[in-house]
């Protein structure tokens, strides 16, 4: 079974400051890893994903994440927060062997950006 833990259900950052959202996973096989963002009253939108290859992946809106197998982590960062980054962020994993492409989500981290 797979599981995802996101450290911190709420994060507050100042505009222009570094955004760091932590994600650790548990999986018996090398997983595929994802970050999704949910803006108010909207669905989940894919920010970035890691499947194979380069462990540092870049996504939309200036976000990036690094897969660290030894630490079973996939932390999300953005060098400079913008007010529009206020949203809830979800880390997710999937099993590449599975037939159904099921995503297992973490609990989410709500980001507040202060002016």
Cβ contact 70:55 at 8 Å = no
With binding defined as CB under 8 A, does residue 90 bind another protein?
yes
Exactly one of 20, 29, 60, 98 binds another protein (CB under 8 A); which one?
98
Least Cβ distance, residue 86 to another protein (angstroms): 18
Cβ contact 52:45 at 8 Å = no
Q: Which residue has the tokens 């018996």?
A: 28
With binding defined as CB under 8 A, does residue 43 bind another protein?
yes
Report the alpha-carbon distance of residue 51 to residue 41 in Å, rounded.
29
Exactly one of 36, 63, 67, 74 binds another protein (CB under 8 A); which one?
36
Least Cβ distance, residue 24 to another protein (angstroms): 14
Positions in the binding site for another protein (CB under 8 A): 32, 36, 41-46, 49, 51, 90, 92, 94, 96, 98-108
């Amino acid at each position: 079974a797979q599981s995802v833990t996101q450290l911190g259900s709420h994060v507050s950052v100042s505009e222009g400051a570094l955004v760091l959202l932590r994600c650790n996973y548990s999986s018996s096989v090398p997983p595929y890893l994802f970050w999704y963002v949910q803006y108010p009253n909207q669905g989940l939108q894919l920010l970035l994903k890691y499947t194979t290859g380069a462990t540092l992946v870049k996504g939309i809106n200036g976000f990036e994440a690094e897969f660290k197998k030894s630490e079973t982590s996939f932390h999300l960062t953005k060098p400079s927060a913008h007010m529009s980054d206020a949203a809830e962020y979800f880390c997710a994993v999937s099993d590449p062997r599975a037939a159904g492409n099921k995503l297992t989500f973490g609990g989410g981290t709500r980001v507040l950006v202060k002016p």
